Amino acid sequence: MKSKIVYILVYSGMWLLALFPFRALYFLSDITYLFVYYIMRYRRKVVATNLANSFPDKSTDWRKKIEHHFYRYLCDDMFEAIKLMHMSFDELQKRMTYINAEQYLSMIEKHSGIIVMIPHYANYEWLIGMGSMMRPEDIPAQVYKPLKDPYLDKLFLYIRSRFGGYNIPKHSTVREVIKLKQNGKKMALGLITDQSPNPSEAHYWTNFLHQETVFMDGAEKIAKLMDFPVFYSEFSKTKRGYCQVEFQLITEHPKEKAEGEITEQFVRRMEQTIIHAPEFWLWSHKRWKQKRTDYPKS
C-alpha cells in the first residue's frame, strides 16, 4: 500500500512537471542546482574524489569548475528525463540528432540486428527515440534492470516505452533476443555498458581514467553469440536541451575479435568522450568502489 501511494505521488508530480515548457523546467533546474549542491551537498565528496583520481594532472580550480558544471548538468538531466512523459515525438526529434544513421540501418538490414553500447553520458535517456529512424517492423530494444518497487518500475517502463521501445529485463536478455530473432524480427539492442557490475558480472578489468576498473562484458558476449555488429554511441551536447549522438561502428564481425577486445574499444572511446567534455558524465556514481580483490577469480 505504501509503495502504491509513493507511486501515485511520484507519478502525479512528474506528470505535472512534464507539462511545463523547457524554459520553466530549466528555471526549476537552476533552483534545484543551488539546493542539491550547496544545501543538500549530494555526494559532493564522491564527485570530488572521482574527479581528482580521474584527472590528477589538472588543477584544483579546473576540477572545481567541472564539478559545478556537472551538478548543473545533473539537475538538467533529471528534468529532461521527466519531460519525456509528455514530450512529443516531433519535439524529441528536434532536440536529438542522429549521425551515421545510414550505416546503423544498413547493418540492421544486413545482419538482422546490432548492439549499441551506451555510456551514462549527456542525454542518454533520450536515445529511446532511436526507433524513429528504423523501419516500423524492426525493434528498438533496450536492456534494463528492473526496480525493486513494482510501481516505480512500471512508471519508468512507461516512460521508456513511449516511442516504441521494447524493454528487456536484464536477466532475460539472451532468451528475449533469441526469441525475437526466431520470430523474424530485426533489432537494435541498446545496453548501458559503463555501470558497476555485480560480482557475477565482473569479468573485464582495464585501466580507465587512471584507475583500475572492472566492466561488464555482457554486450560483447551477446554480440558474439548473435554475430551482431557493435556500435558505440558518441553523445555530445550541442546546447542546453539539445544533443546529438553519432553511431560509431566498433566491429561488423564480433566473432573475429579477441576476448575483451570489443569491451576495451568501448572503454577507450568512452574515455575520450569524457576527456573532451567531462561535465556530462555521471561522476556522482560510486564507480570505483570495487577492487579486484573483492571479486572471485573467473
CA distance 56 to 60: 9
pLDDT the model gives residue 54: 98
pLDDT the model gives residue 159: 80
pLDDT tens digits for range 33-63:
999 999 999 999 999 999 999 999 999 999 9
pLDDT the model gives residue 223: 97
Indicate if the alpha-carbon torsion angle 163, 175, 114, 221 is positive or negative. positive
DSSP helix/strand/coil, 110: helix
Q: CB under 8 Å to 211, separation ≥6 — which residues?
A: 53, 54, 288
pLDDT tens digits for range 211-254:
999 999 999 999 999 999 999 999 999 999 999 999 999 999 99
The rounded mean pLDDT for the chain is 92
CA distance 119 to 99: 17
CA distance 274 to 212: 17
Helix (H) or strand (E) holding 231, with range, is: strand 230-239
Strand ranges across the sheet with 166-169: 96-99, 242-251, 230-239, 113-118, 187-192, 139-144, 166-169
